Structure 1
Amino acid sequence: MTGTRKTTKRTETFTAEERAAMKERAQEVKASARRGSRADKAAEDEAAVVAKIAEMQDSDRVMAERIHAVVKASAPDLAPKLWYGMPAYAKDGKVVCFFQSAQKFNARYATFGFNDKAELDEGTMWPTAFALTRLTAADEARIGELVKRAAG
């Protein structure tokens, strides 16, 4: 079977956008492994996040820029990095929170979410992601509070 590739049911369940995000993640991991010092890596990671935000369409870009500023102000110890081709913020190498543009997955709204590393537990049920159509000052304040808690 050389030169032939079987298609499995698992790959058929992913959208083209999801497959593209997985490829971006693989490239991010490879690029990270090639980098030099920790300071160089941090600077390159932040530059990559800022560049990715600049590529976004208007409404997504505006929200991503504001979220980037809010996260940096609320939790300066979180390290910006790309995660599946989207801006994310990590602690000890683990992604705590992330922004996902609406455009990336042809969605109705952008998303700001938290991974389990955030430990935002409230009782037996709590939100881990928020739909965003625009950001108000109150939204930014709430995001800032959640990020501060998540960063510990």
Structure 2
Amino acid sequence: MTGTENGTYEGFTPEERAAMKEHAQEQKKAARRRGASAAEKAAEAERDVLAKIAEMPDSDRIMAERVHAVVKANAPVLAPKLWYGMPAYALDGKVVCFFQSAAKFKARYATLGFNDAAKLDDGAMWPTAFALTEVTADVEARIAALVKQAVG
């Protein structure tokens, strides 16, 4: 949300409004899938995620493809789905983690984020979002460990 120097509310940014519209479309699409089998729903949701990744600018797309592959390989219990227009991975319908492209909110880096369904608890404070500028072998290993921990 945006504000002025004196702290007054100016409303949502165009990017935030676009994300909310994408979420509404995702909900409508999910409602239309209600009669499909679980396997058909899962396959269609993954196609949606892969299509969204394919639309990303090259730098984000390359990272999102690697994140997708790492999550699928290391936490196969997570189901790919779109969440506010972002590739996300859910357990029992609850989003555990997501990839936010840098382009989505005009940020200088992409983000790998975890929601409260992720079992990353570590004492009284722990990180739930990670900046990504490149997905190297070391980064892949760290993502793999995080998603394994997240699903417990």
Q: With the length of structure 1 as denominator, give the TM-score of the two structures.
A: 0.91
Identical positions, percent: 75
- RMSD of equivalent CA atoms: 1.1
Correspondence list, 1:56-71, <5 A: 56-71=56-71
Q: Secondary structure at the match of 1:131?
A: strand
Aligned-pair CA distance for 1:13: 2.4
Aligned residue pairs, count? 143
Structure 1 spans left out of the alignment, 5+ residues: 1-8
Structure 2 spans left out of the alignment, 5+ residues: 1-7
Which residue of structure 2 aligns with residue 4 of structure 1?
Answer: none
Deviations 1:15-58 (A, max 9, x none): 10000000100110111011122211101000000000000001
Q: Secondary structure at the match of 1:118?
A: coil
Deviations 1:103-140 (A, max 9, x none): 01111100001000002011111100001111111111
2:72 partner amino acid: K
How far apart, CA to CA, are the structure 2 residues paired with 1:13 and 1:139? 36
How far apart, CA to CA, are the structure 2 residues paired with 1:29 and 1:55? 20
Q: With the length of structure 2 as denominator, give the TM-score of the two structures.
A: 0.91
How far apart, CA to CA, are the structure 1 residues paired with 2:98 and 2:71? 10
Q: Which has the higher helix share?
A: 1
Q: Secondary structure at the match of 2:63?
A: helix
Aligned-pair CA distance for 1:14: 1.1
